[in-house]
Chains A and B, each alone.
Chain A
Amino acid sequence: TQLLEQSPQFLSIQEGENLTVYCNSSSVFSSLQWYRQEPGEGPVLLVTVVTGGEVKKLKRLTFQFGDARKDSSLHITAAQPGDTGLYLCAGVSTGAGSYQLTFGKGTKLSVIP
């Protein structure tokens, strides 16, 4: 069974601070995705990283895929209250012409104004 561990589980910071969230696994994934979920809603895809060592930026969010494609990080610069939510990483596994997502349990981020 492939497992993804996210850390920290909870994070509460002041507006304007920087933060990093980690997603680690002992398994190799073909790609990795990050989602954000707000209360009462479904997860929303933020980014997909495919190549080991890949770095993608989405405004103040920077996503990195580890060289061995087993881990990833999400860095937020100058956090805003609108960044508050549950951040989920998901490893993509392919096989038999289909694929599955294995989700971590998430990091719950609160940005205090």
Chain B
Amino acid sequence: DSGVTQTPKHLITATGQRVTLRCSPRSGDLSVYWYQQSLDQGLQFLIQYYNGEERAKGNILERFSAQQFPDLHSELNLSSLELGDSALYFCASSAGLGRTEQYFGPGTRLTVT
């Protein structure tokens, strides 16, 4: 158990819909990262937040957005969903900006039908 929690575990929705994925980092960790894992693309970095502020962006689509709240939990919002958005979405946390070790949650499996 990494100490990172993600909800829901599974999510099935239709094209065009909007969903919100939730992540709670390990106790004391200030950085949260979101990743998308698909069979063809592998694990892709989407976005990083540190203590409530966006810190780095990766291959995140404009239809996707995220935020980190004062209690340090984070949400990833996916809108106008397409079939190709079906994937595993992972959240990871680390202690701070100077720490490279990331601890991953169990993931949310999103299926868009």
Q: Which residues of A contact B (CB under 8 A)?
A: 31, 33, 35, 40-45, 48, 88, 92, 96-106
Question: Chain B, interface size: which category?
Answer: 20 to 34
Q: Are A99 and B100 in contact, with the CB atoms below 8 A? A: yes
B102 within 8 A of A: yes
Q: Which residues of B contact A (CB under 8 A)?
A: 2, 4, 33, 41-45, 48, 50, 55-56, 58, 90, 92, 97, 100-107
How many residue-residue contacts, CB under 8 A, span A and B?
56
Q: Are A92 and B43 in contact, with the CB atoms below 8 A? A: no
Q: Are A101 and B42 in contact, with the CB atoms below 8 A? A: no
Q: Are A48 and B100 in contact, with the CB atoms below 8 A? A: yes
Interface secondary structure of A, over-half rule: strand
Q: Are A98 and B101 in contact, with the CB atoms below 8 A? A: no
Nearest-Cβ distance from residue A23 to partner chain B, whole angstroms: 12
Q: Are B92 and A42 in contact, with the CB atoms below 8 A? A: yes
Closest A residue by C-beta to B40:
A105
Nearest-Cβ distance from residue B59 to partner chain A, whole angstroms: 9
Q: Are A41 and B100 in contact, with the CB atoms below 8 A? A: no
